[in-house]
Each structure stands twice: as structure tokens, then as C-alpha cells.
Structure 1
Amino acid sequence: MISTLAAIRFGTGRAPDIAAPRDAGDLLLRLSGPDRMAEAWPQPSWEVRAAAALDWIRLRRARRDGGADAFRTAQRAMVVAYHEDLARALARAALTEDGFRERLAWFWADHFAVAGGRGLLRRSVPGYHEAAIRPHLAGSFAALLTAAVTHPAMVIYLDNWGSTGPNSPRGRRSGGNINENLAREVLELHTLGAGATYSQTDVRELAELLTGLSITREGDSQFRHNQAEPGAETVLGRAYGGAGPDRGDIDRVLADLAVHPDTARHLSTKLARHFVADTPDPDLVARMTATWTRTGGDLMAVYATMLDHDAAWQPTLAKVRRPMELLAAGLRALGRGRAIMEADVPALRSLANQPLERMGQTWLRPPGPQGWPEAAADWITPQLLAARLGWAIALPEALGDLPDPRAFVETALGPLADERLRFAAAAAEERAAGISLVLASPAFNRR
């Protein structure tokens, strides 16, 4: 049972030919090793995707001057890139021996949510995830926080690129305009949490400290001294700066926020809520918080504390799989991870993009900086449940070459499958119907 829970609750599901983690120690051992899925299925970088977005913008402007064909070519390339990125994310989850890493990558990408959209954020967000999130999954939270908050994607998404201090050289010349979006989300979402011990003054002072954090025309990180507000800023009672605008002051304030007691409590609760239960065991959260405080936000130590608690291994499947998790688990259980990488754009729309939209989790489009909702009630509504059932019926029909449903129920759920589901899968008149019954079952939709 422990191995099955390790694969389903803390990973991307069971697979017919991939050994499930044996226990908590095995989960952590795999996470501490190399990122084999990033090596096997490399993601184009932020720089590559940002350059493509800039090229698309240029060609769109030029299409009226005889450049319509070139723009259409660039537009098709953007559509292909979007679907390739989705296929890559699903393939990694479906083929990995290190499902905990993929789940953590999704969790932290959602915690530091950036939605794809216009300008440089057009089809480039996976490059941000690859650069700012994946390398820091098993390190310190301070390193992860700094990489995510200061990445060009976040600076663009939360409108900090033009934030200008009124007393900066540029502000004195043309007027300052401080944008508080990034500062507010750093405190409310990324670190301390809503309702924590900070004030509007802290938001304002942090926003002033973040002025100058910007981007180049090419979408690279840049600290613009002529936009940075001079003078010391006080955040949560501690002063930063004062000797002149310094990019290092931003790193210092983020490092302090990363180990604040409210951050330890907020992030420990969020991790436990995501992986274990919508209402996590208070003792579990308390122990994770204590570890966070003792280790200065060492993420591996916090994960180990979570995985060491009895609440993490209760056999009741208390969480609902989000749509992306459900799709990956389905492909994984059917052994079709490589097939998704071989699919063309129309097939990917049918197999992945459209089902995600119908089930309420459009790829790369979280509803806001707060990311996707966590509670089961947000994912199991009449409309969204009908979409899940539709996916469960359509996937086996689309893939073909299906396993025996009696074997599939064991592959997908092992000891978590009850006798009624085993009987129903065995009694199905067609293989596709039996597979659909398993994919649509409450057990498969939970973790």
C-alpha cells in the first residue's frame, strides 16, 4: 500500500512498466538525483521563446506591408510550440521514475503563477518554469523565491518592469509611477500569506525597493538604477538600501522573507494541503513549520518531515486530482507517455488541450497570481464532472491498442481498487468500456 500511495498521492500515478517508489525514502532519493526528464525531454529556454514572441509581434505589425505570409508562418509555429510544450509536460509526468519531482514542479509553478498572454508572455511561460522553478525544487526556498520573483516573466506579469521611483533620476525627469502589484503578491501569496503580520506600509516600502527591477527589450533581466527609488526602505521592521540603489537589496529582503515565521507556516500549510488533505492535520503542519524554521527553509527537509508523518500515508484518498494530474495519470497507466510526444497538433488538441479546458484547467492560463484552486469542491461540479466522464470515455477510443481492463485496474490503482470496480472492469463487454470505467471511477480521480 505504501508504494501505491507514494506513486499516486505524491507522484504522477502508477505505470505498467515503471517501478513505483518503495516508500518516503525512495521518493526523496529520486528527487535528490539528476532531473532525468528534463534531460530526456528538454524544454526550449525562456530566451528562445521570448525571441519567438518578439518576432511574432514584429511580423504582426508588418503584415499590412506585405508580410502576411511570414506572419502566418510565425503564428503556426507559435501554435505548434504551445502544444509541444503541453505534450512535453505530460510526457515527463507519464514516463518519469521521479513523479514527486514533476508534482513539485507543478506545485511551485502554480505557487509562483504566471499566466501566458500577450507580448513576451506569449507561449514563453514554460521557459520561465524551466529556468526559475525546476532547478530549485530541492534546494532552499530563498533561492526558489528569488529566482521566481526576479525572473522576467514575473516582472512582466505583475507589471514591475516600468515601476519607477518618484525620486529616481527618471522619476524626477518624467514623473514616478510605483506599481505595487509585485510587492503585494510577494507578501500575500509568495511568502507570508494573506492576513499575516504585514501592513500597507510594508507593501509600499517593498514596492519602492523593487523599483528598477525590470527587463531589456529582448526580455532579459535588468536592474535599472535610474528607475530605482533611492534611500532606505523598511520592510517588517528591517531596513534595506540607503547607500544607493542596489540589486542586492532585493535578494536580501527576499532571503529574509523566505525564513519569516509566517512564511514557514503559510508554505507548510499549503504543501500539506496540496499533497495530503484539503484540511491538513494540524500536527503535520506544525512539524513542517518547525522544520522550515529550524533549517531556514530547506525544502528537502520540509518534504522529509511531511513524508515522515502518519497523516501522509492514510489510505483514504482525500484529494481530487486536478485535470492536468488526471490526464498525466491516465496516459501513464496506459503506458502511452511516448505516444503523446508523437501526436500532431490536431491530436494533441483532442487528447489534451480540449479536455483540460473542459475540465477547468486551461494549460498555462491560471485564473490569476493566486494560481489554481485547491479544494475538491472547485473541481467536482456537475459541469466539470461531466467533462471528466467525457474524457474517460474518449481517451481509450482515441488511443486504441488497449490492455485487458482486468489488468489495467491493477496497474492503475493496485490495492486501492475495490472489488466493485474490479468486477465492473472484468464484466465490460469491450476493452474501451472497461478502461473508461476505471478512468471515470472515484478512486482514479482521487489521490
Structure 2
Amino acid sequence: MFNTEVAEIRFGTGLSPRVSAPQSAEEMLDDLVGPDRMMRAFPIEGFDDFRHRIVAFQKARRSERKAKTEDDRAAATKAKKRANTAARKAYAGMIRDTLLRRTQTSTGFRERLAFFWADHFTARGKSNIVRFATSPYIEEAIRPHIAGRFEDLLIAAVTHPLMLHYLDQAQSVGPNSKLGKRRARGLNENLAREVMELHTLGVDGPYTQDDVRQLAELFAGLSLNQEGGFKFKPAHVEPGAETVLGKSYGRKGSLDDIHAALRDLARHPATARHIATKLAQHFTADTPDPDLIDKLTAAYHESDGNLLNVYVALLNHPASWQPEMTNIKRPIDFVATAMRALDVGEATLARSNQKFLLNLIVTPMQIMGQPWQTPNGPDGWPEEDSFWITPQFMAARLAWALSAPQEMLRVLPDPREFAQTALGQNAPAEVAFAASAAENRWEGIALVLTSPAFQKF
């Protein structure tokens, strides 16, 4: 059942001429609980470190607004520009290191899962330097928990400062709280609704609008301090107990009550089904094998949401190893697997500057339909293949395949050899023929990269 090439294409970051593919499902699973080698090799700062950049920018902006002389204003403006420039430089480094993790890793399943869960718990900054904080959020809230219990991942993501910022939770105040009575500030239901609809129970889950309202009242203490870090604010808390899905929480109005509610939502049968379905869709097909969903649901439920158990069930099911590739790669997967197959190494990306990354990666991905780490809403990127297969998006992939390899490599590989490298032993005969018949190397490489066989995983 296990197939090395299927493992690296469907569950990993693509075939590589230099990095060996996993030899067993057990190896793939062991990699998840071992050291995070890519995190160490290509470090990305956590949100707590990145937050100092946000503070520096905000401090400079306040000084600019309050400046009493032109010299003071000019000095503050320069400080603001320095902070913004430093953040942009760090952001370019995060893009580069994210790509390096994908192209250099021998644990591709870990990288794919990190992306899956970051998408499931979509959060991003909405203004100024906070816009560049998604990678630090992933580094801090997502990566450490992808092989643990779902409830721990849920708590880490939902209570993270970037999530609270993204869903306007910091502005939420219980109407009858101390602050609510004094300032007539209102309750914001965004976070509570997304936790139920997207993160746990699913859009068709067994909850009502009253459950959302009660959970929002329970969440009211979740907020931020002046420096953008997490802070629980008792003055925001709605007094009294809240009832969510028939269970009472919040008599003490504490963070422990919020954690308890999140753990119960994580262990709900509807959550098990929702997570199982999403994983099956992401890794196998838009319409997954019903038995696969049942097996993943059972593994989740029986282990109280131990994600490693769910991955065991995923990798041990026959539906996961069908040789036919059916899912369309998203732009990040297309670009990264192409770079991996081309063996675009650390030296090439290490010397790339912001302009290079913008022109070669970020802008083309946006034209392909996937702006870097900025999905349209908290539901993340669409899983449906039909979203990504449009004339405009496919034309953008073709344009990238024709131009980008030449920009990244001084000497392109022989297209005939590249077809085997990128597609493996089962490379379709028509692709191999087209590659061998191409008039030059760059056209042959583009034919391989834009072939239906390479576009799928």
C-alpha cells in the first residue's frame, strides 16, 4: 500500500533530485514527534519577538502625531520608516525561509500539516506592520502543536494575540461588565462564531445563535495589552455563568473557564467529524472516501483529539494511497514543489532580496489566486479544485513556469531528466515525449511544470 513517490507528492513537498523521500508511513509519523529540523535550520522569529517591531512603529507614529516642532516630527517620521523597513526586511526573510523549509526538508509531511493548520486557524494582521505577523503567529501558535491534542492547538490559536486582533476580539466587552456599563461598549461575536463554525463544530454543527452569543460573552475577557500582547481583562467579562451547548461556564469569569469551554468544543463528536472531513479533503480528494472520513473520525474521537492518532489512521487507509493524483496544487504548493524539483537551493534564495522575492514569488502567486498569507476571510483558502482551475489562474502558472526557472537557475536541467525528477517513475509518456521534443530547455521545463500530472497531488 505505501508508495514512496505518492508519499512525497501527496503528503509531502514534492520530489527532489537531492532529498530522499520517506521510506515508510512510520518514518513520516516519527518525523512529526522528533525535532523540528526545519525550524532550527531556517528560524522564523515568534510573534513575541516580532511584536517589538510593532511597538517600535506605533511609538514612532505617536511621536510623529504629537511632535511640536518640525525637527521632532522629522525625527519621528524617520524612526517610523526605519521600523517599517526593518519589518519588511524581516518579512522577506520569512518568505524565503518558508520556501527553504519546503524545498530542503526531508520531513515534508510536517510542512504540509503546518500549512493545513495555519489555514484552518487563519489569522493575519490588518494594518501597518501587523500585516507581516502571520509567520510569527504560525511559528508560535501552530507548529509546536500539530502532532499533539487538537484542544491544545485550538487554545493556542484562538487565544493568540494575532487571532484576537484579526477577529476584533480586543474590542469586545460584555454589555453588563464593569467597562460595558461605564462606556457603553458592545459585544463582538466574530471570534465565537468562527470558533464554532470554522475551528470546531463546522458550519452545520449542532449550535444555535444563542450558543454563539453565550460563547462571545464568555470570551469577553480575551484582549490585548498596549503593546499588542495577550491580556485577560476581568473588567470586560460579562457577569454570571454562560451556557454553551447545554453546559454552564464562567461562574468565576476566568481564563480557566474559557479553556474549559474550548476543550469541550474540541472533544465534541461534531468537531471530530469536521476535522476528519477537512483532513481527508485536503490530502486525498474534494469528495473523499466515506470510509476514510469514518476512520479518521473514530481515531479522533477515541483518542480525545490526539492528532497523531488521526494521522496514523490517514496514512494507514487504502484511499490515501490511490496512485491517481486528483487534488489540484494551490499556488504555494505549485511554486514550492517546482522549486524543489528544480533543486533551487539555499544559496540561491539566501542571496535573494526583497525585490527578487516580490517579482519571482509573491506577485506571481497573487496573480495565480493566492496572495501570500492573505486569504479573503477567516475560512482560509478554498479546498475545491474548481476555484484554482480558471483560465486566468492557469495562464499565470504557465507564465511563471516559462520565466521563473530561468531567473532562479544559471543552467536548467535537461527536460527529459527533469520529467523523471519531478514526476517520478510513473511520469506519463506524453509528458516525457513533450519534454524531449521541446525546442529548448526552458520550454521543456515549462511543459513539465504545467502538465496535468505535475499540477496535481
Among 129, 134, 138, which residue is 1:129 paired with? 138
1:298 aligns with 2:293: no
For the 8 Å contact 1:136–1:144, the answer to whether it is kept is: yes
1:287 aligns with 2:271: no
Deviation at 1:238, TM superposition (A): 0.7
For the 8 Å contact 2:401–2:446, the answer to whether it is kept is: yes
**Structure 2: how far apart are the matches of 1:216 and 1:32?**
34
For the 8 Å contact 1:117–1:123, the answer to whether it is kept is: no
**Structure 1: how far apart are the matches of 2:126 and 2:403?**
29
1:172 aligns with 2:187: no
Aligned length: 446
For the 8 Å contact 1:120–1:219, the answer to whether it is kept is: no
Residue in structure 1 matched with residue 379 of structure 2 by the alignment: 370
1:415 aligns with 2:425: yes
Among 266, 278, 283, which residue is 2:274 paired with? 266
Among 398, 422, 425, which residue is 1:389 paired with? 398
After superposition, residues 196-207 of structure 1 pair within 5 angstroms as: 196-207=205-216
For the 8 Å contact 1:416–1:443, the answer to whether it is kept is: no
Residue in structure 1 matched with residue 223 of structure 2 by the alignment: 214
Residue in structure 2 matched with residue 74 of structure 1 by the alignment: 83
Residue in structure 1 matched with residue 59 of structure 2 by the alignment: 58
Deviation at 1:364, TM superposition (A): 1.6
Deviation at 1:120, TM superposition (A): 6.2
Q: Secondary structure at the match of 2:236?
A: coil
Structure 1 gaps of 5+ residues are none
For the 8 Å contact 1:183–1:204, the answer to whether it is kept is: yes
Q: Secondary structure at the match of 1:16?
A: coil
**Structure 1: how far apart are the matches of 2:439 and 2:59?**
56
After superposition, residues 271-350 of structure 1 pair within 5 angstroms as: 271-338=279-346, 339-350=348-359
**Structure 1: how far apart are the matches of 2:171 and 2:61?**
24
Q: Secondary structure at the match of 2:201?
A: coil
Residue in structure 2 matched with residue 47 of structure 1 by the alignment: 48
Q: 1:111-142 CA deviation, whole Å, 9 max, x = no partner?
A: 00013321562311211100100000000000
1:437 aligns with 2:447: yes
The percentage of aligned residue pairs carrying the same residue is: 48
Deviation at 1:176, TM superposition (A): 4.0
Residue in structure 2 matched with residue 428 of structure 1 by the alignment: 438
Query: TM-score, normalising length from structure 1?
Result: 0.97
Q: 1:133-155 CA deviation, whole Å, 9 max, x = no partner?
A: 00000000000000000000001
**Structure 1: how far apart are the matches of 2:287 and 2:403?**
33
Deviation at 1:369, TM superposition (A): 0.3
Q: Letter of the 1:342 partner, please give it.
A: R
Q: Letter of the 1:355 partner, please give it.
A: P
Deviation at 1:179, TM superposition (A): 0.6
Q: Letter of the 2:442 partner, please give it.
A: A
Residue in structure 2 matched with residue 37 of structure 1 by the alignment: 38
**Structure 2: how far apart are the matches of 1:204 and 1:239?**
13
Please, which moves more after superposition, 259-268 or 79-88? 79-88
Change (3 A) 1:420 1:153: same
Q: Letter of the 2:161 partner, please give it.
A: P
Structure with more relative contact order (C-alpha pairs < 8 Å, separation 6 or more): 1
For the 8 Å contact 2:11–2:109, the answer to whether it is kept is: yes
Deviation at 1:227, TM superposition (A): 0.9
Change (3 A) 1:59 1:176: closer
1:85 aligns with 2:94: yes
Deviation at 1:17, TM superposition (A): 0.9
**Structure 2: how far apart are the matches of 1:386 and 1:358?**
9
Q: Secondary structure at the match of 1:443?
A: helix
Deviation at 1:61, TM superposition (A): 4.8
For the 8 Å contact 2:103–2:345, the answer to whether it is kept is: yes
Deviation at 1:434, TM superposition (A): 1.5
Residue in structure 1 matched with residue 262 of structure 2 by the alignment: 254
Q: 1:189-248 CA deviation, whole Å, 9 max, x = no partner?
A: 000000110001100110010011011111111110111112111100111121x21110
Query: TM-score, normalising length from structure 2?
Result: 0.95
For the 8 Å contact 1:292–1:301, the answer to whether it is kept is: yes
Q: Secondary structure at the match of 2:249?
A: strand
Q: Letter of the 1:113 partner, please give it.
A: T
**Structure 2: how far apart are the matches of 1:397 and 1:343?**
14
Residue in structure 2 matched with residue 11 of structure 1 by the alignment: 12
Q: Letter of the 2:400 partner, please give it.
A: W
After superposition, residues 151-162 of structure 1 pair within 5 angstroms as: 151-162=160-171
Among 98, 112, 116, which residue is 1:103 paired with? 112
For the 8 Å contact 2:125–2:165, the answer to whether it is kept is: no
For the 8 Å contact 1:409–1:438, the answer to whether it is kept is: yes
1:401 aligns with 2:411: yes
Deviation at 1:173, TM superposition (A): 2.0
Q: 1:387-435 CA deviation, whole Å, 9 max, x = no partner?
A: 0101110122212222222221111111231111111212223222221
Please, which moves more after superposition, 111-120 or 150-159? 111-120
For the 8 Å contact 1:54–1:119, the answer to whether it is kept is: no
Q: Secondary structure at the match of 1:415?
A: coil
For the 8 Å contact 1:53–1:124, the answer to whether it is kept is: no
Change (3 A) 1:316 1:287: same
Change (3 A) 1:61 1:215: closer
For the 8 Å contact 1:116–1:365, the answer to whether it is kept is: no
Q: 1:150-206 CA deviation, whole Å, 9 max, x = no partner?
A: 000001111111211122222222224111000000000000000110001100110
Q: Secondary structure at the match of 2:455?
A: coil
Q: Secondary structure at the match of 1:66?
A: helix
Please, which moves more after superposition, 215-224 or 396-405? 396-405
Structure 2 gaps of 5+ residues are 65-69
For the 8 Å contact 1:91–1:341, the answer to whether it is kept is: no
**Structure 2: how far apart are the matches of 1:189 and 1:120?**
26
Among 438, 452, 456, which residue is 1:446 paired with? 456
Among 185, 191, 197, which residue is 2:194 paired with? 185
**Structure 2: how far apart are the matches of 1:293 and 1:134?**
22
Q: Secondary structure at the match of 2:169?
A: coil
